[in-house]
Chains A and B, each alone.
Chain A
Amino acid sequence: MSDEFPGYRGQALKFLKTAEAEIGDIIRVTKNGESWEGILIPRSEIGDENHIVLKMKSGYNVGVRIDQSAQVEKVGEGAKPTFKPPPLPEQNKSLPRIAIVSTGGTIASRVDYRTGGVRAALSASELYSVVPELSEIAVVETEILFSIFSENITAKHWIATAKTVAKHIKDGVAGVVVAHGTDTLGYTAAALSFALQDLPVPVVMVASQRSADRPSSDAATNLVGAVKAAASAPFAEVVVAMHETVSDTSIVFHRGTKARKCHTSRRDTFKSINASPLARLKDGELRMLTGSYRKRDASRKLKLNPDFEEKVALVKAYPDLNPEVIDWYVEEGCRGIIFEGTGLGHVGDYLFSAIRNAIKKGVIVCMTSQCLWGRLNMNVYDQGRDLLAMGVLSLDDMLPETAYVKLRWVLGQTVKTEEAKKLLTENLANEFSSRTLHGKIGI
């Protein structure tokens, strides 16, 4: 594989290098008395090494097989496409000022047609050119913090993101938008919910499920919704702004501690679990869906606590889970374990002795449910009562991922086990809801 020739390797790559051709050049391949001419374009990574892909004059793409008899020559320089953003629209200085911090993901990217790769597209001018409506909502400042897929995001990125958001808030913006990949967005949203305490303004995380290079992308609609909320929503909490349904008509704002990606590909992949979304934007109007929320108040003083303990594990309970997995975590110095248990909060009795040992060694062991929907009750069955008696902490209706992030954060704040346990069961960022309402389960 090669950086200059994305997708090409082996024989095809050798021919291209010999011909001194670049992606975007006009290439002629001659073999068996036939010739093919077209613009050299990148190849899929999973393709074989024997074909060169050309965009013919007709605009169609074909793969031409390269064998020893083939001749590959560069016959011309193709027009190298460049991205020329149109001039910036006039800024209305009376609009609220907001910051967009980009960490990467589909929403903050555009396809580079020269390489076929995805690259960050979040300078203010690029954004205005792709989504010109933004200039009518807010004066936007942008900062590219990282350009990474969200599966590569770890706690060190949560910390950097929290600090960057705090910096912009201290600078006096009306709200901050954080662009992020969808895969681990729920974890980062929970991390920011705990790290940014006493928020004076909204922090709106936003993502997209369809890339911005397609006319049907959800990126622009989600971004417009996120910027509107950052600029003028009445709440001051960490939320996730995404499509409410498969239609482009409404955006909902999920609380950062309650949001979860529930579908691999749908636009409305994020759901508020065991809670109502905080607000909805429809027909240009933002409506609160709950009366109880932290209100926007620019004078409130933000507290930044961006410390997360590294040695915490999230373990899913399944039939025949090997108890040595638990022993291993304990030996490695793990300070806390979140179980994604079954049903109302159970694990098999074959794990009991490993759990007892862990708690004896000072490890905090907590229970959540892999059902996701619903609340734990470890008093109903014997096995639940046994686990409680061992000292396992029931985390009620908290999402397993949120519980994992919260435990890391709590252990980042205190080294005292009892104090950590107290913090864990306190409702710090709406990670618990006391009432579970009747509602739709699933997508």
Chain B
Amino acid sequence: MGSKYSKIGFKAGLEIHQQLDTREKLFCSCTPKLFKEEPEFTFVRRLRPTQSELGQVDSAALFEFHKGTWIQYEANNDSSCLVEMDEEPPHDLNREAVEICLTASLMMNMKPVDEIHVMRKTVIDGSNTTGFQRTSVVALNGEIDIKGKKVAIQQVSLEEDAARKTGKNGQLIRYRIDRLGIPLIEVTTAPVLYSPEEAEETAFAIGRILRSTRRVRRGLGTIRQDVNVSIRDGALIEIKGVQELELVSKVIENEVQRQLSLLELRAELKKRGVKEADLAEEFVDVAPVFKNTKCKVIAKALKQGNPVLAVRLRGFAGLLKKELAEGMRLGSELAGIARFWGRVGGIFHTD
């Protein structure tokens, strides 16, 4: 198994996030507690992309804004105050949370930084009322032992958890801010994990260390892994929010399979002589073809006077239905991209 992954140049790194069991949230005195009841109050906001420190605006963020997305936040007075609402500046960084991070850091042979600085990571999907996540490095450069191999731990940081998404109605996304501001420890490994098993073992080992502080939260949703995966000639992909340690290796295997299949597709397209220029954005209105369609989705769109746009993927015959990995086809990959950028419900293809 190991040799299969070394042959394809597989590398992975982990970012493990776990909620800390503190009495208060990271930047205010609210109780870190989720609620299931109806919200006591809601408020509605928009987030506007701002320029980064280098004067750039994230194009995905700008696109999201121009789509006219609104965010409705749900709250109750038990779990949030004006700080979570972005109506009051943050209070001082929670010392209890810093102490827990330091304990975990020392257990991973890390060096605490001389001075902790809180900074902003832009996140404008609505999960943070501010439009950024507050985060800070607590310690750097440690290592843990995984079956005799030293795995480098690059960084331990302390950050605020985000609001949780509770729904979406058209242009309105709903988030609940009870979770926003719960302290999270983030442990980042170097990209030195060379098989899915090794990644999973490392995830388990870090999980055990965090639990041994006895100051982290337990239960579903309290720990989340981001997994960075790359293979030779493939892309570096970050898989976010894996909620169970047991899923780490499975998720990695699927992603590797997806990338391998895409590479095969690329080879096939090359063989067929397909060039980028063949994929011109020449959309044709094919509404007349569907005049008597039995497809409800298309019939409804036509009734509303909408066009049916079609584009020819020259040289792709038979490829869209090809399974990339379990439950994933090229067609569904394209549909995902169309949904995000085109705001469509999906795409139909003739394959």
Chain A contact residues, CB within 8 Å of chain B: 34, 47, 51, 53, 56, 58-65, 79, 81-84, 113, 210, 212-217, 220-221, 245-249, 264-267
Contacts and interface: CB of A to CB of B under 8 A. Distances in A.
Given A212-B50, A215-B124, A216-B86, A247 B45 contact: yes
Contact of B117 (A58, A62, A65, A247): A62
Interface in B48-99: 48-51, 53-55, 61, 70, 82, 85-89
Contacts of A61: 117, 119, 136-137
A31 B156 CA distance: 21
A47 B70 CA distance: 38
A220 B48 contact: yes
Q: 6 shortest A-B CB distances, which residue pairs? A: A215-B131, A63-B115, A65-B114, A61-B117, A215-B47, A247-B44
A64 B114 contact: yes
Nearest to A209: B87
Given A65-B114, A79-B54, A215 B157 contact: no
B309 interface: no
Interface string B176-212: 0000000000000000000000000000000000000
B192 to A, nearest CB: 16
Contact of B155 (A51, A58, A65, A82): A58
A51 B46 contact: no
B130 A60 contact: no
Given A215-B122, A220-B48, A62 B113 contact: yes
Contact of B43 (A51, A212, A214, A245): A245
B55 A83 contact: yes
11 contacts: A58-B155, A60-B136, A62-B115, A81-B55, A82-B55, A210-B86, A216-B131, A221-B46, A246-B87, A248-B44, A266-B82
Nearest to A51: B115
B225 interface: no
Contact of B45 (A63, A65, A84, A216): A216
A246 B86 CA distance: 9
Summarize A's interface: helix, strand, loop or mixed. loop
Given A61-B117, A215-B131, A81 B86 contact: no
Nearest to B71: A248
B114 A60 contact: no
A199 B20 CA distance: 59
Contacts of A59: 119, 121
Interface residues of B, number: 42
A59 B122 CA distance: 12
A61 B137 CA distance: 7
A265 B89 contact: yes
Given A51-B115, A62-B114, A63-B114, A215 B85 contact: no
Given A213-B50, A247-B45, A266-B87, A60 B135 contact: yes
Contacts of B105: none
B146 to A, nearest CB: 23
A146 to B, nearest CB: 24
B44 A81 contact: no
A300 to B, nearest CB: 37
Interface in B31-49: 43-49
Interface string B133-167: 00111001000000000000011010000000000
Nearest to B135: A60
B245 interface: no
A247 B41 CA distance: 11
Contacts of A246: 43, 85, 87
A84 B114 contact: no
A247 B86 contact: no
Contacts of B54: 79, 81, 113
Given A79-B54, A81-B53, A213-B50, 7 more contacts: A51-B114, A62-B140, A81-B54, A215-B48, A215-B49, A216-B130, A247-B44
Contacts of A82: 55
A56 B82 CA distance: 32
Contact of A60 (B43, B131, B157): B157
A285 B199 CA distance: 56
B53 A214 contact: no
Contact of A113 (B53, B61, B85): B53
Contacts of B86: 210, 216
Contacts of B135: 60
A58 to B, nearest CB: 7
B5 interface: no
Interface string B7-34: 0000000000000000000000000000
A416 to B, nearest CB: 48
B116 interface: yes
A105 B113 CA distance: 35
A84 B55 contact: yes
Contacts of A63: 113-117
Nearest to A268: B87
B55 to A, nearest CB: 5
A248 B53 CA distance: 25
B173 to A, nearest CB: 14
Contacts of A213: 50-51
A213 B50 CA distance: 6
A53 B124 CA distance: 26
B132 A214 contact: yes
A221 B55 CA distance: 21
A60 B116 CA distance: 10
A53 B114 CA distance: 10
Most B CB contacts (10 A, CB to CB) among A34, A113, A246, A264 go to A246
A169 B87 CA distance: 36
B66 to A, nearest CB: 9
Nearest to A84: B55
B259 interface: no
Contacts of B46: 221, 248
Contacts of A220: 48
B129 interface: yes
A60 B155 contact: yes
B131 A214 contact: yes
Nearest to B46: A248
B171 to A, nearest CB: 13
A265 B82 contact: yes
A59 B54 CA distance: 12
Nearest to B138: A62
A64 B82 CA distance: 33
A288 B114 CA distance: 57
Contacts of B136: 60-61
Contact of A265 (B44, B50, B88, B130): B88
